[in-house]
Amino acid sequence: MNPLEMVQSQIKSALEKMDLDPIVYHLLKEPKRFYEYTFPVRMDDGSIKIFKGFRSQHNDALGPNKGGLRFHQDVTADEVKALSAWMTFKCSVVGLPYGGGKGGVVVDPRDLSRRELEKVSRGWMRAFHNEIGQFKDIPAPDVNTNPQVMAWMIDEANTITSKNQGGHLTGKPVELGGSLGRTEATGYGVSFMVRKAAEKINLNLKGSTTVVQGFGNVGSYAAELLQSWGSKVIAVSDVYGSIYKEDGIDIPALMEFVAKGNKVSDFPGVEVKDRDAVFTTKCDIFLPCALENSITKENAHVIDCKIISEGANGPTTPEADKILLDNGIFVIPDVLANAGGVTVSYFEWSQNLYGHYWSKEMVLEEEEQIMVRAFDEIVNLMEKENIKDMRQAAFMHSIKKIASVMKLRGWY
């Protein structure tokens, strides 16, 4: 399903339950600004390659646009637009003073040398520097980008503007003004939300079973934290395949193995299965931490679990949502479940603006508090309005705030 249509259908579903001016839908259904630029890069073999980059600024009513940048061969304009909209709702769900942004480059980073990756990163910043800034639009890592990419980009921005502004980008390396805890933040947040949902449905995490689809930055840290609380992580997948072990996979060891550039399916001492076997593995907790459109009407009915915490953005299509709901699965929607990353990005940005840095304990404690408060507020709304679907309630909670600020600003 086209991700932009997906988010539009989610907005509609929330608005059905709200008494708002219909113009609110039109203000939210598309980004306020969208940029598409191409930029040339000289490759290692001397040839020139033209890359296509995007940046979408969905809505800046609540504050500067905020959101990641992904490097992926399948990046499209509509995908980036949808992802920027999810960022708007995500920031509002957890109460951050940001609007939503997202960007990307159409590239398979596996085809690039390290030097070419640096040039693509700097090239994106050269092309887009007029559109971004610490009070305008603040990028961060997303799929296939990392603190090193952010370091090259901020160096390029600082050079172009002749200003050493740390708040230009977040997800930077700690030595370069990044925040302690940012690397773990998204994955840990996914698990903080699992713990809250488990309390609600009386599931004991000790001895529970977890399955993780996608073992990048989000899936790996989410699995690590859940395992440290006593959950057995019985299956994990990456783009190449999946692995299974009945008494639990050693997650810190798998993280170390994958960090060396290995595939999940080459990990020793486990059963190797095809990539989609994770969907049919019965478990208590299922974590989709890959890309959009992972849980669809084709596979939603085979998922046998109690809790889904969405580490990825947009992993579940609206049709699949209905199936999961009918099957009584507690789905913690992406705009809440993976909001830990942008929450700690906000801490990073404020630390940069203040020039005063926090301990890792303080970062993670504040992150959890913010997410737990949002979880409780959404659950209260569900109980008050008799709403079964947590995504619908999260969108309502989020849109209420954005609509009221747009009204104050005189946008309608």
| Binding site residues, ligand GLU, CB under 6 A | 66-68, 140, 142, 170-171, 313, 338, 341-342, 345
CB of 115 to ligand GLU, least distance (A): 25
**Judged by CB, which is closer to ligand GLU: 119, or 182?**
182
**Judged by CB, which is closer to ligand GLU: 309, or 313?**
313
Residue nearest to ligand GLU (CB): 68
Verify whether residue 102 is a known catalytic residue: yes
What one-character-per-residue DSSP string does 263-326 give?
-GGG-TTSEEE-GGGGGGS--SEEEE-S-SS-B-TTTGGG---SEEE--SSS-B-HHHHHHHHH
CB of 346 to ligand GLU, least distance (A): 8
SS3 262: coil
CA dihedral defined by 334, 336, 337, 342, rounded to 10 degrees?
A: 90
**Judged by CB, which is closer to ligand GLU: 79, or 284?**
79
Tokens of 230: 């006593």
C-alpha span between 330 and 369 (Å, rounded): 21
**Judged by CB, which is closer to ligand GLU: 148, or 299?**
148
Candidates 81, 102, 119, 232; catalytic one: 102
**Judged by CB, which is closer to ligand GLU: 166, or 171?**
171
Tokens of 412: 């309608």
- Determine the Cα angle at 158 with ends 152 and 160, to 5°: 100
**Residue type at 368 in one-letter notation:** E
C-alpha span between 133 and 228 (Å, rounded): 38
Rg from Cα positions in the chain: 20
Cβ partners under 8 Å of residue 196, min gap 6: 372, 375, 376
CB of 103 to ligand GLU, least distance (A): 10
The residue whose two tokens read 């930077």 is 172
C-alpha span between 188 and 221 (Å, rounded): 6
Tokens of 219: 């899936």
CB of 216 to ligand GLU, least distance (A): 11
What one-character-per-residue DSSP string does 129-186 give?
TTT-BTTTEEEEE-TT--HHHHHHHHHHHHHHHT---GGG-SS--GGGTPPTTHHHHH
CB of 408 to ligand GLU, least distance (A): 25
CB of 340 to ligand GLU, least distance (A): 8
CB of 67 to ligand GLU, least distance (A): 5
**Judged by CB, which is closer to ligand GLU: 270, or 344?**
344
C-alpha span between 66 and 126 (Å, rounded): 19
C-alpha span between 358 and 97 (Å, rounded): 19
**Judged by CB, which is closer to ligand GLU: 231, or 352?**
352
C-alpha span between 172 and 178 (Å, rounded): 4
**Judged by CB, which is closer to ligand GLU: 134, or 281?**
134
C-alpha span between 144 and 388 (Å, rounded): 34
CB of 343 to ligand GLU, least distance (A): 8
Annotated catalytic residues are: 102
